[in-house]
Amino acid sequence: MEQLDQDIKKEHQAKIQQVIGEVGKVVVGQEYMVNRLLIGLFTQGHILLEGVPGLAKTLTVNTLSDVLKLDFKRIQFTPDLLPADLIGTMIYNQQKADFEVKKGPIFSNLILADEVNRSPAKVQSALLEAMQEKTVTIGDTTFKLDRPFLVLATQNPVDQEGTYPLPEAQVDRFMMKVHVDYPSKEDELEVMRRMANMSFKQEINTVLSKEDIFSIREEINQVSLSESLEKYIIELVFATRNPKDYGLNDEAQYIQFGASPRASINLNLAAKAVAFFNERDYVLPEDIKEIADDVMNHRILLNYEAEADGVSTHDIISRILNKVQIAK
């Protein structure tokens, strides 16, 4: 029985690499983003994608939904969007002379909340409540959202005019904030060739089923994390709150607020997923370090002095990783 479980686990690990390969047939050079999206999917953590327009964020999520055979909805957030446009509402049926529920686009497996910072606070709150509770209330009825359920929100870091920035408390609900960068010269050359060929169409195959996704979640949950590494995660998070206690005196002047307990929880979950993707059933320190920036960069609030000196959260996290040691 144990050997059978190991065989299934190996098969799932191989399929994860297949998923990345299938998405790569359509999307060039975004393996990092796909990896982070899969970590979110398998650990039930929502992802905030930040990058300038035109970096294939929508195409990547859409292609991923096809490869995983999941329902996908893209919601363009605008200043005139209402919560009912997102979650649904009650409409009057004249034939039945009664009100009935019309569900909104939130009832799907993968939700792409495009430019989430362009909608008012009420709409953002409706989305974040659905993310947290996994339920939606329309009228007097509460509905459970489809499983798996993953929100991938995007925001443009350049154009901030007429936007409603997400408050820190709401940003904290995202497991990771992933910065999507420009492609390399080679990748952009390939993108240009594909997109300039109007007859280009790549067939992609479905790799994982919903049952596979639930099984992989359970397998990741069984990945072991030693007590010393658990304490290492806590030390990393506490170093963002009390940097002077860790000899980070220069960094202390820049940090206004450190990471919340959600950072500890999500570092644990994400590190297990990284280990599983690397075909291990135990976490290494490198797994935690690999994921630390994505998990913590939106949870550390810097002051104006940091902005004036050109210090970013990425710089702070890098220095913390260099300074904090693993307890023996």
| CATH number where 99 lies | 3.40.50.300
> Do 43 and 181 belong together in one domain?
yes
> Do 154 and 181 belong together in one domain?
yes
Residue 250 lies in a domain: yes
Residue 297 lies in a domain: yes
Query: The domain containing residue 189 runs over which residues?
Result: 2-211
Burial (Cβ within 10 Å: 0-12, 13-18, ≥19) of residue 198: exposed
29-68 pLDDT, tens digit per residue, is: 888 888 999 999 999 989 998 887 777 888 888 888 888 8
> Do 59 and 166 belong together in one domain?
yes
pLDDT score of 177: 92
Q: In which band, very low, low, confident or very high, does the pLDDT at 22 lie, cut at 50, 70 and 90?
A: confident
> Do 116 and 39 belong together in one domain?
yes
Whether residue 23 has pLDDT greater than 90:
no
> Do 243 and 182 belong together in one domain?
no
For the record, the structure tokens of 237 come out as: 């998070």
pLDDT score of 317: 93
Residue 218 lies in a domain: no
pLDDT score of 262: 92
pLDDT score of 38: 92
CB 71 within 8 A of CB 109: yes
Going from the C-alpha of 297 to that of each of 140, 284, 317, 323, the distances in angstroms are: 39, 21, 7, 17
Domain-ending residue, one of 211, 245, 275: 211
Residue 216 lies in a domain: no
Q: In which band, very low, low, confident or very high, does the pLDDT at 3 lie, cut at 50, 70 and 90?
A: low
Q: In which band, very low, low, confident or very high, does the pLDDT at 4 lie, cut at 50, 70 and 90?
A: low
290-305 pLDDT, tens digit per residue, is: 999 999 999 998 889 8
Residue 140 lies in a domain: yes
pLDDT score of 56: 80
CB 77 within 8 A of CB 128: no
Residue 315 lies in a domain: yes
Instruction: Count up the domains in the chain and report the number.
Output: 2
pLDDT score of 206: 85
> Do 53 and 152 belong together in one domain?
yes
Whether residue 6 has pLDDT greater than 80:
no
190-218 pLDDT, tens digit per residue, is: 888 887 777 667 778 888 888 888 999 99
Task: Tell me the sheet residues that pair with 136.
Answer: 143
For residues 228-251, average pLDDT:
91
> Do 124 and 167 belong together in one domain?
yes
Q: What is the CATH number of the domain that holds 259?
A: 1.10.8.80
Going from the C-alpha of 5 to that of each of 41, 272, 274, the distances in angstroms are: 21, 18, 19
Q: Find the DSSP H helices in the chain.
A: 2-26, 31-43, 57-68, 83-87, 121-133, 168-171, 185-196, 210-221, 227-241, 249-252, 261-277, 285-296, 304-308, 313-323
Domain-ending residue, one of 160, 190, 211: 211
| Rounded percentage of the chain residues whose pLDDT exceeds 70 | 95
> Do 143 and 237 belong together in one domain?
no
Residue 328 lies in a domain: no
For the record, the structure tokens of 27 come out as: 């999307």
pLDDT score of 200: 67
Please indicate, yes or no, whether the overall pTM of this predicted structure exceeds 0.85. Answer: yes
> Do 25 and 130 belong together in one domain?
yes
Whether residue 161 has pLDDT greater than 60:
no
78-98 pLDDT, tens digit per residue, is: 888 888 888 888 787 777 777
Whether residue 259 has pLDDT greater than 80:
yes
Whether residue 247 has pLDDT greater than 90:
no
> Do 155 and 294 belong together in one domain?
no
> Do 169 and 311 belong together in one domain?
no
Average pLDDT in the chain: 85
> Do 38 and 105 belong together in one domain?
yes
Domain-ending residue, one of 211, 246, 268: 211
Whole-number Å distance between alpha carbons of 266 and 243: 21
Which has more pLDDT, 14 or 150? 150
126-150 pLDDT, tens digit per residue, is: 888 888 888 888 877 888 888 889 9
